[in-house]
C-alpha cells in the first residue's frame, strides 16, 4: 500500500487520517499524548488523547480488534 500524503480522499478515511487529524490539540495545537489500553480478553483497544499543555482529554476511541 502506497503512502498518501496531504490529500485525503473523499470517502475513504483511513485510520492514519483519523490519527493525523486528532494528533494535535483543538484548543492550542500542542501535540497530544496518546494512551492505548488493550483489553485482549474482549478484543478491544481503548485510545485516549491528552493535551500536556491544556490538560484536556479528548474522547476515548475504542477499536475492535479482529
Ligand atoms: Zn491544548
Model confidence pLDDT, tens digit, residues 36-50? 889 889 999 998 889
Q: Give ion ligand 1 contacts, CB < 5 A.
A: 25, 27-28, 30, 51, 53-54
In a domain, 60, yes or no: yes
Cα(31) to centroid(ligand 1), Å: 8
* 10/51 Cα distance (integer angstroms): 29
Is 64 buried (19+), middle (13-18) or exposed (0-12) by CB count in 10 A? exposed
- State in Å: Cα 54 to ligand 1 middle: 4
Considering the domain boundaries, does residue 59 fall inside one? Answer: yes
Q: How many domains does the chain have?
A: 1
Whole-structure pTM value: 0.52
Say if 6 falls within a structural domain. Answer: no
Classify residue 9: in a domain, yes or no: no
Across 17-26, average pLDDT: 72
* Cα dihedral 32/35/59/28 (nearest 10): -10
The C-alpha cell at 21 is: 487529524
What is the Å distance from ligand 1's center to 32 Cα?
8
Query: Residue 53 sits in which domain range?
Result: 22-64
Amino acid at each position: 500500500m502506497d503512502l498518501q500524503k496531504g490529500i485525503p480522499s473523499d470517502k475513504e478515511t483511513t485510520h492514519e487520517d483519523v490519527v493525523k487529524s486528532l494528533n494535535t490539540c483543538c484548543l492550542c495545537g500542542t501535540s497530544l499524548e496518546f494512551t492505548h489500553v488493550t483489553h485482549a480478553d474482549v478484543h478491544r483497544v481503548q485510545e485516549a488523547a491528552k493535551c500536556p499543555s491544556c490538560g484536556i482529554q479528548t474522547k476515548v476511541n475504542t477499536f475492535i480488534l479482529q
